[in-house]
Structure 1
Amino acid sequence: MERRTGKSSGVGKLVALAALLGLSGGVVVPTTRGDVSGLEFPTSSIWGAVFDRIHTFKGIPYAAPPVGNLRWRPPQDPAGWTGVRDATEYGNRCPQIVDAKAPLGSPLYEILTYRSNSSSEDCLFLNVYTPNVSSSADLPVMLWIHGAAMVIGSADTYPAEVPTSLHNVVMVTINYRLGNLGFLPTLDAETDGNVGLLDMVKALQWVQDNIRNFGGDPDRVTIFGQSGGAWAVSLLVMSPETRGLYRRAISQSGVAGLTTTRRGDITRTETLAARVNCTTASFDRMMSCLRSKPAQDLLFLEIIPIVGGRFLPDDLWDLMYKKRVNEVDYLLGTTDDEYGMLLSVIPGFGEDGLNRTVFEAILPAQLQFDADQFPKGNVSAIVQPVIDQYMDPDNDDPIYTRDQFIQLMTDCRYTALTVFMAQAVAAHNTRVYQYEFQRRTSVFSERPSYTKAAHGDDLFYTFGIPLMRDVTGASWKYSFTQEERDLSLDMMAYWVNFATNGDPNDFTEAARMRNLATWPRYMTSSKSYLKLDVTSSADVKIRESNMKFWNEEVPRLMGKEITTGGGEKSTWSILLVTFSAVLHLLQ
Structure 2
Amino acid sequence: MRMMLLLVFSIGLNLASAAKLGVVQTEGGQVEGKSHNMGLFRSVDVFKGIPFADVPGKWEKPKPHPGWSGILKATKYRDRCLQVTLLQTKTQGSEDCLYLNIFVPQRGSLSKSLPVMVYLYGGAFLLGASNDVEFLGDALYDGKEMADRGGVIIVTVNYRVGTMGFLSTGDSRLPGNYGLWDQHAAIAWVHRNIKAFGGNPYNMTIFGQSAGAVSVSFQMLSPYNKGLFRRAITQSGVSLCPWGLQQNPISLTKKIARKVGCLRANVDDMVTCLKMSDPVGLTMAGKIDVFLILGKGVVMDLLELAPVVDGDFIPDEPRHLFHNAAQFDYMAGVNSMDGHFFAGVDVPSINKRNATTVDEVKGLLAGLTKKKGTAAIDSAYSVYSSLWGPFPDPALVKKTVADIETDFLFLVPTQIALQLHANNSTGARTFSYLFNMETRIPGFPRWVGAEHAEELQYLFGKPFSIPLIYFPRHRDLAGYMIAYWTNFAKTGDPSKGDNKVPVPWPEFTKYHHPHLTIDHKMSKYSVSYDLRSNYVDYWTQTYCSLPTIREEDKGGNC
Aligned residue type for 1:362: L
1:262–1:308 Cα contact (<8 Å) kept: no
CA 1:136 to 1:437, structure 2 compared with 1: closer, same or farther past 3 Å? closer
Aligned residue type for 2:85: V
Q: Tell me which residue corresponds to 2:385.
A: 391
In the aligned structure 1, how far is the partner of 2:411 from the partner of 2:71? Answer: 47
In the aligned structure 2, how far is the partner of 1:457 from the partner of 1:419? Answer: 20
After superposition, the C-alpha distances for 1:507-526 in whole angstroms (9 at most, x for unaligned) are 2xx3xx42420100111211
In the aligned structure 2, how far is the partner of 1:269 from the partner of 1:553? Answer: 34
Q: Tell me which residue corresponds to 2:459.
A: 462
Q: How far 1:136 sits from its partner (Å)?
A: 7.0
Does structure 1 residue 349 correspond to structure 2 residue 388? no
Q: Tell me which residue corresponds to 1:52.
A: 42
In the aligned structure 2, how far is the partner of 1:515 from the partner of 1:123? Answer: 38
Q: Tell me which residue corresponds to 1:80.
A: 67
SS of the counterpart of 1:36?
strand
Q: How far 1:200 sits from its partner (Å)?
A: 0.5
SS of the counterpart of 2:381?
helix
Alignment match of 1:297 (pick from 266, 269, 281): 281
Q: TM-score, normalised by structure 1?
A: 0.79
Number of residues paired by the alignment? Answer: 494
Q: Which has the higher contact order (CA 8 A, sep 6+)?
A: 1
Aligned residue type for 2:359: T
Q: Tell me which residue corresponds to 1:425.
A: 421
Alignment match of 1:401 (pick from 378, 381, 397): 397
Q: Tell me which residue corresponds to 2:528.
A: 539
Q: TM-score, normalised by structure 2?
A: 0.83
Alignment match of 1:453 (pick from 442, 450, 457): 450
In the aligned structure 1, how far is the partner of 2:213 from the partner of 2:128? Answer: 13
Q: Tell me which residue corresponds to 2:83.
A: 96
Q: Tell me which residue corresponds to 2:3.
A: none
SS of the counterpart of 2:374?
helix
Q: Tell me which residue corresponds to 2:552.
A: none
CA 1:262 to 1:397, structure 2 compared with 1: closer, same or farther past 3 Å? closer
Q: How far 1:177 sits from its partner (Å)?
A: 0.6
Q: Tell me which residue corresponds to 2:291.
A: none
Does structure 1 residue 525 correspond to structure 2 residue 540? no
Q: Tell me which residue corresponds to 1:577.
A: none
In the aligned structure 2, how far is the partner of 1:450 from the partner of 1:413? Answer: 19
In the aligned structure 1, how far is the partner of 2:310 from the partner of 2:101? Answer: 33
CA 1:504 to 1:125, structure 2 compared with 1: closer, same or farther past 3 Å? same
Q: Tell me which residue corresponds to 2:35.
A: 40
Q: Which moved more, 1:153-162 or 1:379-388?
A: 379-388
In the aligned structure 2, how far is the partner of 1:190 from the partner of 1:62? Answer: 26
Q: Tell me which residue corresponds to 2:121.
A: 146
Q: How far 1:538 sits from its partner (Å)?
A: 0.8
In the aligned structure 1, how far is the partner of 2:92 from the partner of 2:357? Answer: 45
Q: How far 1:89 sits from its partner (Å)?
A: 0.6
In the aligned structure 1, how far is the partner of 2:41 from the partner of 2:95? Answer: 36
1:65–1:121 Cα contact (<8 Å) kept: yes
2:336–2:406 Cα contact (<8 Å) kept: yes
Q: How far 1:341 sits from its partner (Å)?
A: 3.2
Q: Tell me which residue corresponds to 2:333.
A: 333
In the aligned structure 1, how far is the partner of 2:315 from the partner of 2:465? Answer: 44
Q: How far 1:269 sits from its partner (Å)?
A: 2.3
1:489-504 matches, within 5 Å, as 489-504=479-494
SS of the counterpart of 1:344?
helix
1:51–1:166 Cα contact (<8 Å) kept: no
Aligned residue type for 1:338: D
2:487–2:495 Cα contact (<8 Å) kept: yes
SS of the counterpart of 1:131?
strand
Q: Which moved more, 1:251-260 or 1:530-539?
A: 251-260
Does structure 1 residue 206 correspond to structure 2 residue 215? no
Report sequence identity in percent.
Answer: 32
Q: Tell me which residue corresponds to 2:137.
A: none
Q: Tell me which residue corresponds to 2:538.
A: 549
Alignment match of 2:25 (pick from 2, 15, 30): 30
For structure 1, the residue ranges without an aligned partner over 5 or more in a row are 1-6, 15-26, 45-49, 102-116, 369-376, 470-475, 561-587
Aligned residue type for 2:530: K
- Give me the CA root mean square deviation: 2.6
Aligned residue type for 2:38: T
1:240–1:326 Cα contact (<8 Å) kept: no
1:147–1:230 Cα contact (<8 Å) kept: yes
In the aligned structure 2, how far is the partner of 1:245 from the partner of 1:446? Answer: 44
Q: How far 1:291 sits from its partner (Å)?
A: 2.5
In the aligned structure 2, how far is the partner of 1:8 from the partner of 1:100? Answer: 44
